[in-house]
Amino acid sequence: MVFLVIAGFMLCIAAACVVVPLWRGYAANRPSYENAYRSAHANQVAELERDIAAGRLAISDRAAALRDLDRELTASLGDKTETRPSGAVAPRSRILAVVIGLVLVTGMAVGYWQLGNWRVALEGVPAATAHNMDAMVAQLSRRLHTTDQNDLQGWIMLGHAYVLMDRYNEAVEALDRARKLSGDSDPDLLASYAEALALANPGQFMQKAAPLFEKVLQEDPNNVRALWYGGFAAIHRGDKKLAVQRWRLLLAQNLPPQYRAVVKQAIEDAGGADTATASPQIDVTTINIQVTLDSKLRTKVSPEESVFVYAEPTGSHDGPPLAVRRFQVRDLPLSMTLSDKDAMVPGRNISNYAHIALTARISRTGTLIPQNGDFEGKTIWNRNDGRKLMAIEIKS
């Protein structure tokens, strides 16, 4: 309330600085036009007398010159007469003063009401901030739905704002627009969209959101959102071990203290041991692989294109590959190994499985997720194969 009183006082002072001079009108000691013209006439007469004395003008012409000067003075005094007595105030000036004063006070008050931060004084900081955020989000939404429908960053900002405001259905719509504009090329954006789906439809988490989080983990195994929600998806499938593995990987990242406490509690609830006392994983399995390229593909691929060699459990499964390494076409043919040291998720090791599907794939887009136009070769490794060399030929 004190702020509003001070603001009103300052507003009145600003208006007075403009209104008071107009209200007073003409100054009381305004210079007289008559005195100015008579002074100029006297100077001209004196100059005339000096010209005659110096011989520059004949004495016979003196009378005619004086008459001309007198006529000029008379004409000037007739055109420029005082219309207001000294100290008089023009009625129009006072009317203008009143009008300008009202416009200033009303205009500034209305402008501050609409654009200022008056709500902080009346409602407190949280309510005022919420109102301003509502206004900014509404303005951004109007712009994106009208003139800037292809603004990717704008849709992302709008979606995140809706999540913060608990407007999850609108967040899903905005982030879906952003996801489509990006062509699903941004794992973090896809994770944000999946999170909005999970919050908007908790009952359909496994059907709608969980598959998207798994897709994100295939391309970005350290994605914070995907690891968190992917852990819950694993719990829902009854795989507490995988949930603990994902949450431990999340815990290894730079999380704020309050979030670390939540993740630790989730690990404990899932039956996971504390990371400080957990036994280290031992590399007990190494798979030797030789990757070659079909000669027919040499002219169809570029030396700079990516080659992913990775291991997965055989059969249907969820989650990222067990292990993966990346090369380039120029490295082919190559001999390499995959082992527990290459695990994408700590604790989810090759040594835990008896049968492993091995894949070597040339990615035309440079991403781990298979796309149309990629070339690949596959083989199956069994634990009985031991350190046998596994040959993979990439074919069309």
% of the chain at pLDDT higher than 70: 70
Q: What DSSP state is assigned to residue 364? A: S
Does pLDDT of 1 surpass 60? no
Higher pLDDT, 247 or 29: 247
State the greatest distance between any 2 C-alpha atoms of the chain, in Å, as a whole number: 143
Task: Please give the Cα distance from 11 to 131 (Å, whole number).
Answer: 25
Higher pLDDT, 117 or 159: 159
Does pLDDT of 127 surpass 70? no
Q: What is the pLDDT confidence band of residue 287, given thresholds at 50, 70 and 90?
A: very high
Burial of 76 by CB count in 10 Å (0-12 exposed, 13-18 middle, 19+ buried)?
Answer: middle
- Range name among 10-19, 21-30, 382-391 with the lowest pLDDT average: 21-30
% of the chain at pLDDT higher than 90: 26
Does pLDDT of 289 surpass 90? yes
The tens digit of pLDDT for each residue in 361-381 reads: 999 888 888 888 899 999 999
pLDDT of residue 201: 87
Torsion angle of the four alpha carbons 203, 319, 377, 371, in this order, in degrees rounded to the nearest 10 = 50
pLDDT of residue 361: 94
- Range name among 237-246, 254-263, 365-374 with the lowest pLDDT average: 254-263
- Pair 394, 292: CB distance under 8 Å: yes
- Pair 301, 360: CB distance under 8 Å: no
Higher pLDDT, 239 or 352: 239
pLDDT of residue 195: 93
Beta-carbon-side half-sphere exposure of residue 77 (alpha carbons within 13 Å): 14
- Range name among 10-14, 16-20, 59-63, 224-228 with the lowest pLDDT average: 16-20
Task: Please give the Cα distance from 212 to 189 (Å, whole number).
Answer: 11
- In the chain the domains, ranked by start, together with CATH numbers, are 2-114 (no CATH), 150-269 (1.25.40.10), 286-394 (2.60.40)
Does pLDDT of 353 surpass 90? no
| Residue type at 389 in one-letter notation | L
pLDDT of residue 89: 47
Conformational region of residue 340, where left means phi above 0, alpha means psi within -120 to 50, and beta covers everything else: alpha
B/e letters for 277-315, b = 16+ CB within 10 Å, e = fewer, are eeeeeeeebebbbebebeeebeeebeeebbbbbbbbbee
Q: What is the mean pLDDT of the chain?
A: 77
Average pLDDT on 49-73 reads 73
Does pLDDT of 30 surpass 60? no
Question: 336 pairs with which residues across the strands?
Answer: 289
Average pLDDT on 295-308 reads 91
pLDDT of residue 177: 92
The answer to whether the bond into 320 is cis (omega within 30° of 0) is no
pLDDT of residue 131: 54
Does pLDDT of 161 surpass 50? yes
Q: What is the pLDDT confidence band of residue 359, given thresholds at 50, 70 and 90?
A: very high
Average pLDDT on 280-286 reads 54
Q: Which two tokens stand for residue 88?
A: 């008089």
Tell me the helix, strand and coil percentages in the chain, rounded to 5: 60, 15, 30
Among 14-18, 40-44, 127-131, the range with the most confident prediction by mean pLDDT is: 40-44
- Range name among 20-34, 127-141, 197-211 with the lowest pLDDT average: 20-34
The tens digit of pLDDT for each residue in 68-114 reads: 777 776 776 665 444 444 444 455 555 655 666 666 656 655 555 45
Q: Which two tokens stand for residue 393?
A: 């030929």
Q: Which two tokens stand for residue 67?
A: 């008459």
Does pLDDT of 260 surpass 90? no
The tens digit of pLDDT for each residue in 133-154 reads: 778 888 888 998 898 889 998 8
pLDDT of residue 253: 76
pLDDT of residue 298: 87
Average pLDDT on 220-238 reads 90
